Amino acid sequence: MRIVPAQELTGEVVVPGDKSIAHRALLLGALADGVTRVANVPDSDDLAATKRCLEALGVPIVRNGGGALHVTGGRIGEAAAPLDCGGSGTTIRLIAGLLAGLPFTSILSANAQLAKRPMGRIIDPLKLMGADISPLPPPATPNGRQAMLIIKGGGLHAIEYATPVASAQVKSAVLLAALHASGHTTVRESAATRDHTERMLRAMGAQITHDRETNTIMLSPSHLSALNISVPNDFSSAAFFIAAGLLAPRADLLIKAVNLNPTRTGLLDIITAMGGAVAVEQGHEENGEPVGDLRVRTVAGLRGATVGGAVVPRAIDEFPLVALLATQAEGETLVRDAAELRVKESDRVSAVAVELRKLGAQIEERPDGFVVRGRTPLHGAEVDSHGDHRLAMMLAVAGLIASGETRISGAESVAKSFPEFERVLAGITR
């Protein structure tokens, strides 16, 4: 991808449907009684992985004329071959939880990038529930996939589990397993993570309680009822346009119908702490999720901030952008308590520091985050995505405010969440 400096950014932005909500809609729809209709599923590699795995398990998924997916629930059975999760961490971790509760054997495979990411975090609690689940060793299968997990499901019992890492994927794996476990399962989180699973389970009629004071969720085995779900647009994809709108000259963007679940919008709080502002217009609720339009204009006078603690899981996918914003903020920005960034699609602490330095930033790694000294003018350079969609898109935004041309290799990785990114960006750039 080649990016040249923007003179002006204006117009309406429509980003793809929310990746996290769409995964959950397909997975829970496969368990619910009846046909769940899911509109606005992103046409991305990660959602293709979840759809492919469910179809291989016998779940009928058809696209209607308007593009919505119709998922017929209650038909899951043993697959004939390993389930190919591609590079999707949410697919493999959530489907492992779902399959742990069902009385047949499944093998889950992953691409080389996902095969390096930690799975002990779901294996441990699922084993405590009585699941027979083990990691499979390399080598890779002929299609470049590596078999990663074997699950002989069924016969689960409830547990009380305190998640050692604040991870919505771990929490959701346990909750999906709990739907088929005897007894009442309790999950306690050290800090609140995205709660889309809980909200959708409640909307589908599950017996679930959520104490937000103590971040404790209780779920009993439940029948789920099919829903009509319209997936709101993805805050984590909107975030690239939020940063672009704040940083680029003469910017005025309206980002439409974005999911504004407070467990996702930590970036807005970080921007406020840095002296910036994003306005919410037309806020309302849809399927139990808050949605609104975001108005973003060029900001002057951003200042450095210390970012750590409870906001970290609420902004976990946005830290490449926090680093970029910090390069344009006066003074020092310290990000801490964010060691989880090291086990995303890339080691995002190291990769963000290495790539932003190529553009002229002053950024240093810390074991659990980074320190940025600003503000520094950025200059175009050849940079690399490290195969990480969010790095590729952050570097494109950086290119808008850098002098000269920025060339991003590995930019095809944007297909993981936002295949249309370059076109949408071009549509607002002058």
Provide the binding-site residues for ligand S3P, judged by CB under 6 A.
Answer: 20, 90, 167-169, 172, 194, 316-317, 340
Beta strands in 357-421 (DSSP E): 362-366, 369-374, 382-384, 406-409
CB 235 within 8 A of CB 213: no
CB of 303 to ligand S3P, least distance (A): 27
Catalytic-labelled residue, pool 195, 317, 384, 388: 317
Q: State which residue, 46 or 302, has the beta carbon closest to ligand S3P.
A: 46
Indicate the residue among 200 and 361 with the shorter CB distance to ligand S3P: 200
Q: Beta strand pairing status for 35-39 and 69-72?
A: antiparallel
CB neighbour burial string for 118-142, b if at least 16 within 10 angstroms, e if fewer: ebebbbebbeebbbebeeeeeeeee
Q: Least CB distance from residue 168 to ligand S3P, whole Å?
A: 4
Q: Under a CB-based contact definition with an 8 Å cutoff, are residues 374 and 414 in contact? A: no
Nearest CA to 173 out of 119, 211, 137 is that of 119
Residue 317: active-site member: yes
- CB nearer to ligand S3P: pick between 24 and 256: 24
The nearest distance, CB 166 to ligand S3P, in angstroms, is 7
- Residue 285's H or E segment, with its range, is strand 279-286
Indicate left, alpha or beta for 40 from its phi (over 0: left) and psi (-120 to 50: alpha).
left
CB of 20 to ligand S3P, least distance (A): 3
Tokens of 230: 């319209």
Please, which residue, 166 or 274, has the CB nearer to ligand S3P? Answer: 166
How far apart are CB 95 and ligand S3P at their closest, in Å? 12
Closer to ligand S3P by Cβ: residue 167 or 186: 167
CB 223 within 8 Å of CB 51: no
Tokens of 166: 């604040």
At position 51, the amino acid (one-letter code) is K
N-term to C-term CA, the chain: 17
Nearer to ligand S3P, 248 or 312 (CB): 312
Q: Contact 237/418 with Cβ under 8 angstroms?
A: yes
Smallest gap from residue 297 Cβ to ligand S3P (A): 28
Please list the active-site residues: 317
